[in-house]
Structure 1
């Protein structure tokens, strides 16, 4: 079962979850209801109605991936289906996709899963609360994994495409770094939770090298053989409040537990391998 078939969960469903004979996934307004072994059903956490096929899928499912984000009213899945998820007779593994944004700002320091969580915006506070709700569903027979994802890139979402469409920028904020992860490596981590005997709990899912964002754009420009956009000082660049909030958090996030306990060997340990592969694929 997948709640919220967005970019990451959609990649996992299409490219990675070969271990499962059948996948039921939800979107608010799906355009199709079935494709190969994927059954796509409607689900809206703001609606009182729940498709009976979804309830049947929950009763049959043995693995649950939750990608739907929370809102002011909390987690949309648990708001409507907490009792059904808790009572699902065959459900052995739950994976909840969260964000490293729950840590807030740590002044560029290295942190791991034991770091203090000080979310600096409403979105991250909602995520942190939803994490705990899902972790509370763990039992002796059911493991719950919270994967805190860093900045996601991959096919259709990367600096190469931004350079091509003219939206790439090189904002310079001294000492600023961002953490990132290729969507294929997220899929690896999800599979590791479902298919291996790893302990439940919280895992950071990020690559090996937090890096200044302008370095990624410069490297991508080199792959395309084009000049990178000019450097612009952060303070002089018009940004939306959400964009500016990203630059208000600076941290280097460790993936040691993911490697140790989940056994994930990154296909793209830094942005350089990831961008080079995307360029070779035509992006």
Structure 2
């Protein structure tokens, strides 16, 4: 079994570590030659390639059985370049990737937009509230359009990611002692790194296809979660100003029942210890 990981950052590297222990031959990619030596510790081969490099992507996909696309955009990155063009390049190279039987893509629950806190499932319409979310939704459709009877395409809509090095206390420490706009009533959908890795491995093993929400069971409001994090970590509490409009353009509670029905068991279904 051979797998390529296009975008081997926080999530991709963790998946590579697991897959390598399972005997899967891993080819990892990076856009920076500075990361090659680091990725060589978790992958059998490392390729420096940009998502818009048609020849580079075609070379990557040759002889691969599975492709995991988990590219990430920094705060200043162009989503269209990072996500949509990468997906378009991959799809354009598929006629030269006859062995590829599976594509897995890590998307975001932000594609749902604002449902005023209502629960959403995978068959609910997307209502992107930002340009970035719109591009993510378009990326999903680009990849789903590449599915065939012989090639599965599975897409995970992730919640906010936390885990080792991305602890909630670290994430919210900058908010401690500040006043935030709004009332903090929006749903706070999160997923632990362990479950991202676990769900991707489950998808690879069971050839999952289609859309799957990937968030944990427990979905407090933003206010409830920040209060708990601050109390548990002796941080100054956050105040809220309901007279100001919330800075969050989306408000949903995301159901993970479809993934559970597909046989996945969450390791972190709730926040533990905060």
CA distance in 1, matches of 2:227, 2:106: 30
CA distance in 2, matches of 1:142, 1:188: 21
CA distance in 1, matches of 2:88, 2:241: 43
Structure 1, residues 102-143: CA drift from partner, whole Å, max 9, x if none? 111001111111111110111111111111111111111111
Q: C-alpha displacement at 1:234, in angstroms?
A: 5.6
User: Match for residue 252 of structure 2?
Assistant: 251
Q: TM-score, normalised by structure 1?
A: 0.81
1:143 to 139, 152, 158: 152
**1:63/1:91 contact within 8 Å kept:** yes
CA distance in 2, matches of 1:136, 1:58: 18
2:219 to 210, 217, 220: 210
Matched, 1:123 2:126: no
2:27 to 24, 27, 44: 24
SS of 1:127's equivalent in the other structure is: helix
User: Match for residue 270 of structure 1?
Assistant: 270
Deviates more, 1:93-102 or 1:20-29: 20-29
Structure 1, residues 50-89: CA drift from partner, whole Å, max 9, x if none? 44xx644411211110112673366233443433234312
Matched, 1:195 2:201: no
Residues 72, 42 of structure 1: CA spacing in aligned structure 2 closer, same or farther, 3 A cutoff? same
CA distance in 1, matches of 2:225, 2:184: 15
CA distance in 2, matches of 1:16, 1:218: 37
**1:68/1:76 contact within 8 Å kept:** no
**2:184/2:222 contact within 8 Å kept:** no
5+ residue gaps, structure 1: 238-242, 277-283
SS of 1:107's equivalent in the other structure is: strand
User: Match for residue 75 of structure 2?
Assistant: none
* Pairs aligned (count): 260
Query: 5 Å matches for 1:78-93?
Result: 78-93=87-102
Q: C-alpha displacement at 1:19, in angstroms?
A: 2.7
Q: TM-score, normalised by structure 2?
A: 0.83
Q: C-alpha displacement at 1:40, in angstroms?
A: 2.2
Residues 162, 72 of structure 1: CA spacing in aligned structure 2 closer, same or farther, 3 A cutoff? closer
CA distance in 2, matches of 1:220, 1:38: 39
User: Match for residue 183 of structure 1?
Assistant: 193
5+ residue gaps, structure 2: 73-77
1:233 to 222, 225, 241: 241
Residues 71, 166 of structure 1: CA spacing in aligned structure 2 closer, same or farther, 3 A cutoff? closer
CA distance in 1, matches of 2:42, 2:216: 32
CA distance in 2, matches of 1:93, 1:216: 36
Q: C-alpha displacement at 1:41, in angstroms?
A: 1.6
CA distance in 1, matches of 2:207, 2:84: 27
Matched, 1:37 2:43: yes
Question: Aligned-residue CA RMSD in angstroms?
Answer: 2.6
Matched, 1:6 2:5: no
Query: 5 Å matches for 1:95-106?
Result: 95-106=104-115
